Amino acid sequence: MKTDRKYEPIKEIRDWYYIEYYPPANGFKFATLNVVITIENPVKNDIANVMEKELEIWINKYPIPLFVSAFDNTGSLYNLGEVKQSNHLMGFYDQERKIRMYWRLLKDGEIPDIALNQEYIDDLYSNLVFKTTAELDIDRRKRRRQIKVGWFIFFIWLVIVPALIAILEFYSSWLSIVALIYSLYMALRKGLELTGKWKKSKREKAQEDEERLKNYYYYHCQMNPEGFKKLLHENLEKMSKDEITKEAESLKTSKKQSKLNPTH
């Protein structure tokens, strides 16, 4: 009996971009190729040419329909309206074994259904790392169990432990005395804090400074919500850009290592 598989994507670095190739998910008619540009302000025609070039490379390697898109170094989809009629490119082998490219979104009936043949797909991607649906289901169950265990411990700590302490205090004069001493200590400490005579630790001072900054930032965000939205957008873009740069550097390092240590 055949088991559905989820294949790991292929990532490769180029001179000024890298690609992410995703085999088709179960029930989909095409694979997906993302071209991620790592330089600022590339020429739109160059992007379109690269998309066509990569489509041809990957269809020759894995002959099934392919859907190609290009993204900038912040993860945003490139608008190629100036040079092409669509931002997306689709292509596949026709009946004459020629690659057909379309700068538009094709209807389902226009796309060959070869990728729906699971046996063919499993043979085509036999060199890729994958997990079966059963393995993925086991991973999901493990994560759910971990979450449940975490919530259980959290519940025990916040609910059961205080309740047990209260019960023990009721039955134990010794614990009652300890609780009384602790309460008096906390009251004395609070009094000294209010009068400014309690020497705060470095950690407490740092926490106060952090809280003061949060309140300061919150006040100014309330005063200028449009400015806050702009800042948030810029921060998210920077995070995405940093992530893409990190991915590109990782791929470059992997490429160098593979050249230094070629497999025979």
pLDDT bracket for residue 1 (50, 70, 90): very low
> Between the CA atoms of 157, 163, 166 and 168, what dihedral angle is there, to the nearest 10 degrees?
-90
pLDDT bracket for residue 183 (50, 70, 90): low
State whether the Cα torsion 90-91-94-96 is positive or negative. positive
pLDDT bracket for residue 3 (50, 70, 90): low
List C-alpha distances in Å: 61 to 23, 118, 213. Answer: 12, 18, 55
Q: What pLDDT score was predicted for residue 176?
A: 66
Of the candidate ranges 8-22, 72-86, 131-145, 195-209, the one whose mean pLDDT is the lowest? 131-145
With contact defined as beta carbons under 8 Å apart, do 72 and 37 qualify?
Answer: yes
Contacts 24+ apart (CB under 8 A), 25-30: 26/118, 26/133, 27/116, 28/115, 29/65, 29/108, 29/111, 29/112, 29/113, 29/115, 29/116, 30/64, 30/65, 30/66, 30/67, 30/90, 30/92, 30/111, 30/115
Sorted by sequence, the CB contacts under 8 Å of residue 263 that are 6+ apart come out as: none
- With tokens 């873009």, the residue in question is 237
- With tokens 């997306």, the residue in question is 88
pLDDT bracket for residue 27 (50, 70, 90): confident
Q: What pLDDT score was predicted for residue 164?
A: 62
Of the candidate ranges 73-82, 143-152, 244-253, the one whose mean pLDDT is the lowest? 143-152
Please give the DSSP secondary-structure letter assigned to residue 131. E
Model confidence pTM above 0.75: no
Q: What pLDDT score was predicted for residue 233?
A: 78
Of the candidate ranges 25-34, 110-119, 215-224, the one whose mean pLDDT is the lowest? 215-224
pLDDT beyond 80 at 166 = no
Give pLDDT tens digits for 145-164.
776 766 667 656 666 656 66
With contact defined as beta carbons under 8 Å apart, do 65 and 90 qualify?
Answer: yes
| pLDDT, mean over the chain | 82
With contact defined as beta carbons under 8 Å apart, do 37 and 20 qualify?
Answer: no
Domain boundaries defined on the chain: 5-128, 133-196, 200-247
In this prediction, residues 96-121 reach a mean pLDDT of: 93
- Give the Cα separation of 158 and 239 in Å (integer): 35
In this prediction, residues 105-130 reach a mean pLDDT of: 90
Q: What pLDDT score was predicted for residue 101?
A: 97
Q: Smallest Cα–Cα separation from 62: which of 132, 102, 114?
A: 114
pLDDT bracket for residue 216 (50, 70, 90): low
